[in-house]
Amino acid sequence: MNGNYELTLAVFYCQNVPGSDEGERRILEKKYGKALRLFPLPCSGRLDPVHLLRALEEFADAAYVVACPKGNCRYFEGNSRAGKRVGKTRELIEQIGLEGNRIGLVYGSKENPETLSYQIDKIRDGLSELGPSPVLKNMK
């Protein structure tokens, strides 16, 4: 990450994403330790923006959602609802002066299903230049 700093990432994920079972979750938690906190959801549409904001306020430098592919939600519109909620939350944190990429959403692919582990690695790579959260400045 940025210098010697290790980014703390909160990931809220749909339990229908490939590789999101309990065993895979434990492997990810062991791999990343305290730098990753995972929160399974029955559907990404169940995400409340407050979950993302609380993660940023209490422990995370970034909070992301991993959803199933667009048009492939088991509950029909869950991932599109999650997309709208993440977008509004991103706008809100930008209005208070935080970088918008501290919150995001990643959709899976129908054609090339990617595991939760792969998605998390991709998110972390995309955030490699992001420094410590100014919100947590005095907490860490």
Q: Is 36 helix (H, G, I), strand (E, B) or coil?
A: strand
Region 116-138: mean pLDDT is 87
User: Tens of pLDDT along 7-47?
Assistant: 999 999 998 888 888 999 999 999 999 999 999 999 998 99
User: Tens of pLDDT along 42-77?
Assistant: 999 899 999 999 999 999 999 999 988 877 777 778
DSSP letter, residue 46 = G
Higher pLDDT, 24 or 2: 24
b or e along 90-106 (b: 16 or more beta carbons within 10 Å of the residue's beta carbon)?
beebeeeebbeebbbbb
Closest C-alpha to 117, from 26, 41, 43: 26
Q: What is the pLDDT of residue 84?
A: 93
